[in-house]
Amino acid sequence: MRFAKAASIAALAVLSAPAIADTIELGPRPYYLVDKMAEGPLKDKLEACIGQPLKRTEFSIGHRGAALQFPEHTVESYKAAALMGAGILECDVTFTKDKELVCRHAQNDLHTTTDILATDLAENCTKGFTPADGSNKASAECRASDLTLAEFKTLQGKMDAADRSATTVDAYMDGTAGWRTDLYAATGTLMTHAESIDLFKDLGVKFTPELKSPSVDMPFDGFSQEDYAQKLIDDYKAAGVPASDVFPQSFNLNDVLYWIKNEPEFGKQAVFLDARFRQNGFSPMDPASLSPTMEEMKAMGVNYIAPPLWVLLTLEDGEIAASAYALAAKEAGLNLITWTLERSGPLNTGGGWYFQTVKDAMDGDGRVYEVVDVLAQEAGVVGLFSDWPATTTFYASCMGLK
């Protein structure tokens, strides 16, 4: 499969899932990023790979699908990510009023990721739309748990955005960042968790569901946190998916420990989304100060941890390098996954939150593959979440990564 022979991403709607499973199409962005690089051995290596055969790779993880340009957690977004060669796709998992699992980044994001405010279901929202005025920003809060599954499935996904200065619902919903697009937002088909499993199987990819923190108090109508964690795993069992194809994730360490204890085959690949960077005084150059330590984490049975990518990076004499955190995790025998590439817009102003430890080196998009190379070769990450998986697929294919 080569750039010139692959189907157009814009035509993905007419491709069936099995057809996408046999097709990889990257579009121009990887070439654009290589073209912007400074001259050197890495650029030479990547340039030599342009036009070479591509492969689907587990290094390339579709973050909410292909959320740079497609409404996240929708059929369309997932198909686009698979078409770009992602070997693993993510369904963030939350639940509805009738305790059915659905794919949403948060339980309380329907007001920014769907058209709910423009429908009659806006009356069900925890907090309806309030326009901006002289002293307050526009606001709303609509939860999946405000709706039954049947109601949820009537909604349309949109690009995750809101204009906080808006005085009308239409203006509030029309807040997509200039470096994203609404070109593919005319349709956004929402999915249950079980439906995502069926689709991902057809697409020929593996699974990384994230158990999202509830916005409601737990237990919710008798539904405990443990019930929630178990229900996620039960969906894979019911679909006949082997545990080796599933990487369940959570920011809640207790969820991960629950899977390790109660579903040990799935627990082997459970991913702790490492929120220890929120501890007071955290520095990626002082991992010994973390609680629990890397060694304690490993002793608990955790095999995979996933911090944001800035935690794994530092600058050494002005050059991008792996942080002490990354090296300590490797020393403890922990596998590293990280998030999220292609979520920051153009990098000519430092890259924002995701690149904060290397912002002084972020002077343009030509730095993207320098970052990816350090993450892969020095930090040793085994998977990289991206909002545009073509970028990571190209690198992994070129470098022969799994």
Q: pLDDT tens, 24-39?
A: 999 999 999 999 999 9
Q: Which residue, 142, 173, 204, sits at the end of a domain? A: 173
Q: Are 150 and 66 contained in the same domain? A: no
Does 321 lie in the same domain as 256?
Answer: yes
CA–CA separation, 118 and 111 (whole Å):
10
Is residue 115 domain-shared with residue 75, that is, in the same domain?
no
Mean pLDDT, rounded, for 232-242: 98
**For residue 13, what pLDDT is reported?**
56
Residue 344 sits in the same domain as residue 264 = yes
Answer yes or no: do 39 and 146 share one domain: no
CB-based burial, 353-386: b 16+ in 10 Å, e otherwise:
ebbbbbbebbeebbbbbbbbbbbbebbbbebbbb
- How many domains does the chain contain in total? 2
The pLDDT assigned to 18 comes to 85
Residue range(s) defining the domain that contains residue 159:
101-173
- Does position 7 have pLDDT exceeding 80, yes or no? no
Domain shared by 255 and 361, yes or no:
yes
pLDDT attached to residue 10: 53
Q: Do 148 and 296 have their domain in common?
A: no
Domain shared by 127 and 240, yes or no: no
Determine, yes or no, domain membership for 34: yes
The Cα–Cα gap between 187 and 321 comes to: 41
266-285 pLDDT tens trace: 999 999 999 999 999 999 99
Domain edge (last residue) among 173, 206, 235: 173
Confidence of residue 383 (pLDDT cuts 50, 70, 90): very high
Instruction: Give me the CATH number covering residue 355.
Output: 3.20.20.190
In a domain, 184, yes or no: no
pLDDT digits (tens, 9 = 90+) for 86-136: 999 999 999 999 999 999 999 999 999 999 999 999 999 999 999 999 899
More confident call, 288 vs 333? 333
Element at 198 (helix H, strand E) = helix 193-203
Residue 40 has pLDDT above 50, yes or no: yes
State mean pLDDT over 314-318.
Answer: 97
pLDDT band at 148 (very low <50, low <70, confident <90, very high): very high
Pairwise CA distance, residues 307 & 276, whole Å: 8
How far is Cα 69 from Cα 386, in angstroms, rounded to an integer?
12
What does the alpha-carbon distance between residue 1 and residue 53 come to, in Å, rounded to a whole number? Answer: 5
- Give pLDDT tens digits for 183-201: 999 999 999 999 999 999 9
Does 333 lie in the same domain as 236? yes
Domain boundary residue among 138, 173, 208? 173
